[in-house]
Structure 1
Amino acid sequence: MEFPKFGFAKRLLVLYSITFILVLLVTDWTLSHFLQKRDLQELQRSLTRQSVLIRELAIPLLGDHKRLQKEIKTIAAGTDVRVTIVDPEGAVLADSSENLEQLSKMENHALRPEVAAALKKEAGMSIRYSMTLETRMLYIAVPILERVKVLGVVRTAMPITRVDEILASVRRPIMFTALLGILIVLMAGMFFSNHLTKRIRRITSVAERYAREDWSEKILMDGRDELKMLADTMNQMAATLRSRIKDLESEKGKISVILNHMNEGVIAVDRHKQIVIMNPMAEKIFGYLASDIHGKSLIEVTRHPQIERIVDHAFKEQKTTSEEIQISGEIRKTLRLSVVILKEHARDIQGILVFHDMTELRRLENVRKEFVTHVSHELRTPLTAIKGFVETLLGGAFKDPPAGERFLKIIAEETDRLGRLVEDILTIGEIEQKIDFMKKDRIDLASELSFVLEQFKGRVEKNKLIVENRIPGKPLLVPGDKDKVHQVFVNLFDNAIKFNKPEGKIVLSADQKPEGITITVEDTGIGIPEGTQGRIFERFFRVDKARSKELGGTGLGLAIVKHIMEAHDGHASCQSTPGQGSRFSVFFPA
């Protein structure tokens, strides 16, 4: 451990020195104050006497300003005294420090404290800094009276630098004495300081080892004083702490391992509902770090009144309570909260809250319900049609060959549609079950797109569509499942043909970047309304149900595209303008 350069013993020594200095400074201040007061009083009496004498000389000359100015300068010559004669209105009539021509430019003195007092027939005194002479001055003013009428004021002033010089001469020996006293105290206390510091450092050094949980050394101290008693006490304390810390660390380690590896969020609270413990999963649920919960209440961290209500009920009934709650946030979560009340309180823990995340389970339940509903509806439609036409045929329609042939064609079409629907449902199920086991070979997207274009060449010509292929001639290699990627391109190109306008246009393009490749299929078709674009990749969702069924769509094509792209760690997106066309993009990470 690095010990402080300014240790306890030295601080004690400095404290004594400071006390000594303070005593000397107080003495200096008291003596200086006394001398200053005495000298100022003496200077004040001297100036007052001079002012009275000058007043007697000035009375006959008040009407002759030029002569008065000359006499005032003669009186003040060779002295430090400044003499000023002021009329009852405060105008300067004469001043020993100014020329006659400058008198009219001087400020009015009526508001000067000493002059104001003299104009009230009182002797005035003031100490202030003179801007004219640039020094601190003592001002004395006496009124010039004619019976009860004030004819003017005689003001004398003198710099008080002489007083300051006297004070300075007194302070010098005092400061010298103070410095000498400090030196003596420091020298006298050096031995004691070194000895005391050495013993304290020994205790501190071993205590630092104890703080690092190093119990290998004891504090060995000579003597029979308080430091010896402190060393022995610390040795006993270290032995006890070593044993207790070992036991606590063992228990804490077991609890931490359990809490940190739980899939459930766990929060322990005291009887005031202040949080005591919070495991990582609870941190994730509520967006708080365990290091930030000190002094926080349950409602501050969870920000959920329903949780507070459930805990209050459990505390009141003193029994375990369980209830399902909803947590709002970036993602709405469904949690099963169980509150366990501890009958025998573990230190300051009153109850334990366990949060089991039911969000995914509830989502899957809803997906299953929606999927079953959609599948039932989609299967019922072709089956109903097949059954109806079969019953019609059995009812005698087969005797009419043209009608019978038409009914059989409808049955065949519905059967094909039912087959496509079942095939798409099986494809989605296969993707979801094998998402982590999908083959990831190096495939050439450009080659796959060329194959799909050739595959749809007949339908493109039949619909009189123009295909603009902007895919570069070089290979576009990404890791992926060749068959599944082929199905993505087939589904996108199939939609671009189905929902395009007669003699419309399809544009294929690729954007290759270091992070991956984006393939875009753009058409000039009917487009997708803005309000439904966010649902276009949902299962069984159709923008125009009648047109989709007429064209043989199952409503699963784009859902399959989405699932396949997610299985490739990529994504699919759509941009569309109603009446102008749609732009579907799929991103393959490199």
Structure 2
Amino acid sequence: MTKRIFKSMLLVSMIVLFAGSGLIMGILYHYFGKQLAKELKTEAAYLAIAVEKEGMEAFDRLPPQTERVTYIDEDGTVLFDSVADEDDMDNHENRSEIQKALKTGSGTAVRKSDTLSEKTLYYAMKMADGKVLRVSSVQYNIPGLLGGMVQPILIILIFMVGLSALLAFRLSKKITEPINALDLEHPEDNQVYDELTPLLSKISRQQKSLHREIEDARKQQEEFSLITENMEEGFLVIDKHTEVLSYNSSALKLLGDSKWQGRQSILTLNRSEEFQGIVEQVLEGHHTVRMMEFPERSCQIAANPVWQGKEVTGAVIIILDVTERMRGEQLRREFTANVSHELKTPLTSISGFAEIIKDGFVKPEDTKVFASRIFKEAQRLITLVNDVIKISQLDEGEIVYQKEQVDLYQLSKEVLHRIEHSAKEKDVKLYLEGSHVQVSTVRMILDEVLFNLCENGLKYNKQGGSLTVTLKEENNKVEISVEDTGIGIPEGEQSRVFERFYRVDKSHSKAIGGTGLGLSIVKHGCMYLGAKVDVESTPGVGSKFTITM
């Protein structure tokens, strides 16, 4: 901007300089022309007085530097000329200034002199004796005047151009300095030219509008990031070149590369052919949903193309961790198979005994024995159905109980009392350690959980062993541990003991009895109560189950 102002000011200065110079030269030319005419008239008047007094002798005393003087008779004959030989000169009767002088007493004319070959100003005046005295002088034109002043004019022009350039430079900087110093972050706070006020006001309005839009965009970006970062599902946005534009940490976690940083190809996250095929299909414009197996997890990948007109410009990829769902479906299949198997055994026994009795193959004295077996199998069937119902209710959250203050020591004492008879038959010592601890919980469910742990610890205990229930309270946490001296659980099986119908030693478990749902009820009961259950076990030494509330 400074350069443009500088060039404009310099150009205007040059135009004004040359136009002014031309105008001044024209004015001076006319001024000096009039001045020259006055001087010729004055000189002619003085010379006429001398000629009238002295006659022709007055011409002899003319100084060498005087203007050209011509003395002409009434008939136009040249009597005297101070420059040329009068005998060689033509008759001047037809000269315009001579004719005017003869008629009116004086006359002027400007023309190129035949004698001097230069533009000449003539002034002629009629004397008392009728003769004409003419005085003339060369009148220089503008080029002629300039020709004699080339050097000084050039010096003046150079000086004026330099001065104009300097002033234009300083003025352009002075003009642009307030503009360059504008604080565009706060346009309305500037004290500058009035002409810029509308522009600054418009900039201020645009800035406020832009700030609002940027703030809205930032908030939307934060909300979007907050939503995507709190999604359990993996979220990825890629362009048509497979470069990742947006992602969340869940996506990196599910794809197994939590240290990966964006603006790279998504194929660097997973180089498997299956994943590459999904990316290629979605970028070709096909909606794709596919299951993929990753280490220790199963994922469902849903990929949708992003269209701009008829062209695919990218894709949105959602990764769902369906490991628990797949595992749940597997557990449900296993559960159905196990329930069917567990139900089939007592029903087969009941059906068999009933058929024998119906066909009359049982002696009257043996009827009681067969009825007892039918009753025992029916009780086993009822227990199994009740346990299945309990687990289903805990799974679905259908059990609704009110919490109450429960003395854990008293509750544990009651549970141990219920298994006391069975413990004496197996010669297992029962111990209760700890103090009276009050908790707010659902008494019925906690009672069921403790009973199952204690009953389990008794069933799998050794002859002459012990079962210890310990209560502990510290750091606002309550721990209830049930420790036995039984057969123990191998380390590789400990993570599965809470699965439904899972048995570590199936042959031994059949001899002991039970439905295989006890520890599963413990797990789901703890989940309902908001507690956690852990197991520590050593084969041949015993097991310890700890509930943390």
What's the C-alpha RMSD, in Å, of the aligned pairs? 3.9
Q: Which residue of 1 aligns with 2:119?
A: none
Q: Which residue of 1 aligns with 2:297?
A: 332
Q: Which amino acid aligns with 1:208?
A: E
3-state DSSP of counterpart to 1:397:
coil
In structure 2, do the counterparts of structure 1 residues 275 and 239 end up closer, same or farther at CA, with 3 Å as the change threshold?
farther
| CA distance in 1: counterparts of 2:192 and 2:319, whole angstroms | 56
| CA distance in 1: counterparts of 2:401 and 2:253, whole angstroms | 31
1:269 partnered with 2:230? no
Q: Which residue of 2 aligns with 1:519?
A: 480
| CA distance in 1: counterparts of 2:386 and 2:418, whole angstroms | 20
| CA distance in 2: counterparts of 1:540 and 1:223, whole angstroms | 89
In structure 2, do the counterparts of structure 1 residues 353 and 218 end up closer, same or farther at CA, with 3 Å as the change threshold?
farther
1:310 partnered with 2:278? yes
Q: Which amino acid aligns with 1:326?
A: E
Q: Which residue of 1 aligns with 2:547?
A: 586
**What TM-score results when the alignment is normalised by the length of structure 1?**
0.55
3-state DSSP of counterpart to 2:336:
helix
> Contact (CA 8 Å) 1:260, 1:279: kept in 2 or not?
no
| CA distance in 1: counterparts of 2:377 and 2:279, whole angstroms | 58
| CA distance in 2: counterparts of 1:278 and 1:435, whole angstroms | 39
| CA distance in 2: counterparts of 1:409 and 1:254, whole angstroms | 73
| CA distance in 1: counterparts of 2:310 and 2:207, whole angstroms | 24
Q: Which residue of 1 aligns with 2:378?
A: 415
Q: Which residue of 2 aligns with 1:4?
A: none
In structure 2, do the counterparts of structure 1 residues 529 and 403 end up closer, same or farther at CA, with 3 Å as the change threshold?
farther
**Cα drift, residue 553 of structure 1:** 0.7
In structure 2, do the counterparts of structure 1 residues 202 and 436 end up closer, same or farther at CA, with 3 Å as the change threshold?
farther
Range that drifts further, 572-581 or 300-309: 300-309
3-state DSSP of counterpart to 1:392:
helix
Q: Which residue of 1 aligns with 2:404?
A: 441
In structure 2, do the counterparts of structure 1 residues 506 and 288 end up closer, same or farther at CA, with 3 Å as the change threshold?
closer
Q: Give the alignment of 1:131-142 within 5 angstroms.
A: none
Q: Which residue of 2 aligns with 1:353?
A: 317
| CA distance in 1: counterparts of 2:428 and 2:536, whole angstroms | 21
Q: Which residue of 2 aligns with 1:372?
A: 336
Q: Percent identity?
A: 29
Q: Which amino acid aligns with 1:570?
A: A
In structure 2, do the counterparts of structure 1 residues 309 and 244 end up closer, same or farther at CA, with 3 Å as the change threshold?
farther
1:217 partnered with 2:196? no
Q: Which amino acid aligns with 2:442?
A: D
**What TM-score results when the alignment is normalised by the length of structure 2?**
0.59
**Cα drift, residue 469 of structure 1:** 2.4
> Contact (CA 8 Å) 1:338, 1:353: kept in 2 or not?
yes
1:567 to 513, 522, 528: 528
3-state DSSP of counterpart to 2:290:
strand
> Contact (CA 8 Å) 2:427, 2:465: kept in 1 or not?
yes
Q: Which amino acid aligns with 1:370?
A: E
**Cα drift, residue 446 of structure 1:** 0.6
> Contact (CA 8 Å) 1:499, 1:526: kept in 2 or not?
yes
**Cα drift, residue 304 of structure 1:** 5.8
> Contact (CA 8 Å) 1:325, 1:337: kept in 2 or not?
no
> Contact (CA 8 Å) 2:491, 2:537: kept in 1 or not?
yes
| CA distance in 1: counterparts of 2:189 and 2:269, whole angstroms | 45
Q: Which amino acid aligns with 2:339?
A: V
In structure 2, do the counterparts of structure 1 residues 580 and 269 end up closer, same or farther at CA, with 3 Å as the change threshold?
closer
In structure 2, do the counterparts of structure 1 residues 499 and 280 end up closer, same or farther at CA, with 3 Å as the change threshold?
closer
| CA distance in 2: counterparts of 1:428 and 1:505, whole angstroms | 29
Range that drifts further, 351-360 or 383-392: 351-360
**Cα drift, residue 361 of structure 1:** 3.4
**Cα drift, residue 466 of structure 1:** 1.8
Q: Which residue of 2 aligns with 1:395?
A: 359
1:432 to 384, 395, 399: 395
Q: Give the alignment of 1:534-553 within 5 angstroms.
A: 534-553=495-514
| CA distance in 2: counterparts of 1:515 and 1:341, whole angstroms | 52
In structure 2, do the counterparts of structure 1 residues 274 and 529 end up closer, same or farther at CA, with 3 Å as the change threshold?
closer
Count of residues paired in the alignment: 376
1:405 to 368, 376, 386: 368
Q: Which amino acid aligns with 2:290?
A: E
3-state DSSP of counterpart to 2:406:
strand
2:349 to 385, 394, 408: 385
In structure 2, do the counterparts of structure 1 residues 245 and 501 end up closer, same or farther at CA, with 3 Å as the change threshold?
same
3-state DSSP of counterpart to 1:527:
coil
**Cα drift, residue 281 of structure 1:** 5.9
3-state DSSP of counterpart to 2:370:
helix
Q: Which amino acid aligns with 2:316?
A: I
Q: Give the alignment of 1:41-52 within 5 angstroms.
A: none
Q: Which residue of 2 aligns with 1:319?
A: 286
Deviations 1:552-588 (A, max 9, x none): 3110011111111122222222222323322222222
> Contact (CA 8 Å) 1:509, 1:521: kept in 2 or not?
yes
Q: Any gaps of 5 or more consecutive residues in structure 1? A: 1-190, 210-215
Q: Which residue of 2 aligns with 1:298?
A: 266
**Cα drift, residue 525 of structure 1:** 2.2
> Contact (CA 8 Å) 1:382, 1:415: kept in 2 or not?
yes
**Cα drift, residue 546 of structure 1:** 3.4
| CA distance in 2: counterparts of 1:437 and 1:284, whole angstroms | 37
| CA distance in 1: counterparts of 2:268 and 2:185, whole angstroms | 38
Deviations 1:282-301 (A, max 9, x none): 466458899x8542221235
| CA distance in 1: counterparts of 2:256 and 2:222, whole angstroms | 20
Q: Which residue of 2 aligns with 1:36?
A: none
| CA distance in 2: counterparts of 1:509 and 1:462, whole angstroms | 23
| CA distance in 2: counterparts of 1:419 and 1:318, whole angstroms | 57
In structure 2, do the counterparts of structure 1 residues 492 and 356 end up closer, same or farther at CA, with 3 Å as the change threshold?
closer
Q: Which residue of 2 aligns with 1:482?
A: 443
> Contact (CA 8 Å) 2:404, 2:443: kept in 1 or not?
yes
| CA distance in 2: counterparts of 1:457 and 1:565, whole angstroms | 24
Q: Give the alignment of 1:127-276 within 5 angstroms.
A: 199=178, 202-204=181-183, 207-209=184-186, 217=188, 221-222=192-193, 261=227, 265-276=234-245
Q: Which residue of 1 aligns with 2:127?
A: none
**Cα drift, residue 447 of structure 1:** 0.9
> Contact (CA 8 Å) 1:219, 1:232: kept in 2 or not?
no
In structure 2, do the counterparts of structure 1 residues 240 and 270 end up closer, same or farther at CA, with 3 Å as the change threshold?
farther
**Cα drift, residue 544 of structure 1:** 2.8
**Cα drift, residue 467 of structure 1:** 1.9
**Computing the radius of gyration over CA atoms, which structure comes out larger, 1 or 2?**
2
Q: Any gaps of 5 or more consecutive residues in structure 2? A: 1-169
Deviations 1:330-363 (A, max 9, x none): x6142232232414289x9422223344444333
Q: Which amino acid aligns with 1:310?
A: I
3-state DSSP of counterpart to 1:460:
helix
> Contact (CA 8 Å) 1:319, 1:341: kept in 2 or not?
no
> Contact (CA 8 Å) 1:442, 1:479: kept in 2 or not?
yes
**Cα drift, residue 255 of structure 1:** 8.3
| CA distance in 1: counterparts of 2:275 and 2:201, whole angstroms | 49
> Contact (CA 8 Å) 2:412, 2:432: kept in 1 or not?
no
In structure 2, do the counterparts of structure 1 residues 242 and 483 end up closer, same or farther at CA, with 3 Å as the change threshold?
same
